[in-house]
């Protein structure tokens, strides 16, 4: 199966309005910049976006929020986006905030074929409202369900034409778990190589989880919070 496409616009052509998307990244680190830009150009709306955060006002998922393309955000942190805050407070945007570990595990469970799991995180808080809970060894646990996403969109450092992926440093973050969790996974990479060029011992996501791959361009790799000495 040929998984390689020419660019982001071709990669996201199957994404339609109303779908649920996973988008890798942590803050602005390791986000699929090219695919987000392509989704903005495509103009799809009514999206449910599962991501650690919503980017900033003029970059990342923040660009999609500006254009009212996102109906619901499922995230663990959203503190750096003023437009997100405005839409949340005005009732324009539906938001599900969940503990960061629960977000990660709901991704991992989806990739592992586990439909649900129990976790103590969030018990006794608003997170637990309407959810089933049980006691194990004297401690209370919430039942959380694996995510059900139409697409996972991730960004890797290197990948080969078979879809095997290697991430670099902290850009690894949520990307591997999401790559394995989507029904259809799109990977954009900084460097696309031939099979055999990657060390098998260093592959973070096997190609069997990736449906489409392309080499991205013009990565800005913006730093969200820059701290420097005087």
pLDDT tens, position by position, 192-226: 999 999 999 999 999 999 999 999 999 988 888 78
Is residue 60 in some structural domain? Answer: yes
Q: Strands (DSSP E) along the chain, which ranges?
A: 20-23, 47-50, 70-75, 94-97, 116-119, 133-136, 139-145, 151-160, 165-166, 184-193, 212-215
Burial class (CB in 10 A: 0-12, 13-18, 19+), 125: exposed
Q: Is 124 a domain residue?
A: no
Residue 123 lies in a domain: no
- What integer is the mean pLDDT of 80-90? 88
Task: Name the pTM for this structure.
Answer: 0.93
For residue 50, list its beta bridge partners.
22, 74
Any domain includes 91 = yes
For position 16, what pLDDT does the model report?
98
Mean pLDDT value across residues 185-193? 98
Residue 127 lies in a domain: no
Do residues 148 and 178 touch, judged by C-beta distance below 8 A? no
Looking at the domain assignment, is residue 139 inside a domain? no
User: Is the CB of residue 50 less than 8 Å from the CB of residue 21?
Assistant: yes
Domain region containing 83: 8-115+146-215
For residue 152, being part of any structural domain is answered with yes
Residue 227 has pLDDT above 90, yes or no: no
Asked if residue 132 is part of any domain, the answer here is: no
Q: What is the mean pLDDT of the chain?
A: 95
pLDDT digits (tens, 9 = 90+) for 44-78: 999 999 999 988 888 999 999 999 999 999 999 87
The predicted pLDDT at position 80 comes to: 76
**In Å, what is the CA distance from 144 to each residue of 46, 107, 116, 227?**
24, 11, 6, 37
C-alpha to C-alpha distances, 193 to 50, 164, 187, 198, nearest whole angstrom: 29, 10, 13, 8
Q: How many Å apart are CA 151 and CA 211, to the nearest integer? A: 10
* CATH assignment of the domain containing 164: 3.40.1080.10
Q: How many domains does the chain have?
A: 1
User: How many residues in the chain?
Assistant: 230
pLDDT class of 146 with cuts at 50, 70, 90: very high
């Amino acid at each position: 199966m040929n998984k390689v496409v020419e660019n982001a616009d071709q990669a996201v052509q199957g994404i339609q309005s109303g779908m649920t998307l996973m988008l890798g990244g942590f803050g602005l680190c390791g986000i699929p910049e090219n695919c987000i830009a392509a989704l903005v150009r495509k103009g799809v709306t009514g999206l449910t976006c599962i991501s650690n955060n919503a980017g900033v006002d003029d970059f990342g998922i923040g660009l999609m929020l500006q254009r009212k393309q996102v109906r619901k955000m499922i995230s663990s942190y959203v503190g750096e986006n003023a437009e997100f805050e405005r839409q949340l407070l005005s009732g324009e945007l539906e938001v599900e905030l969940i503990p960061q570990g629960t977000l990660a595990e709901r991704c991992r469970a989806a990739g592992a074929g586990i439909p649900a799991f129990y976790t103590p995180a969030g018990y006794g808080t608003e997170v637990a409202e309407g959810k089933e809970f049980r006691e194990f060894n004297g401690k209370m646990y919430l039942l959380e369900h694996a995510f059900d996403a139409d697409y996972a969109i991730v960004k890797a450092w290197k990948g080969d034409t078979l879809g095997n992926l290697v991430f670099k440093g902290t850009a690894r973050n949520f990307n591997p778990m999401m790559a394995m969790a989507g029904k259809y996974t799109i990977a954009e990479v900084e460097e696309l190589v031939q099979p055999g060029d990657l060390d098998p011992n260093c592959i973070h996501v096997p190609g069997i989880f990736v449906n489409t791959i392309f080499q991205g361009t013009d990565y800005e790799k913006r730093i969200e919070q820059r701290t420097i000495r005087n």
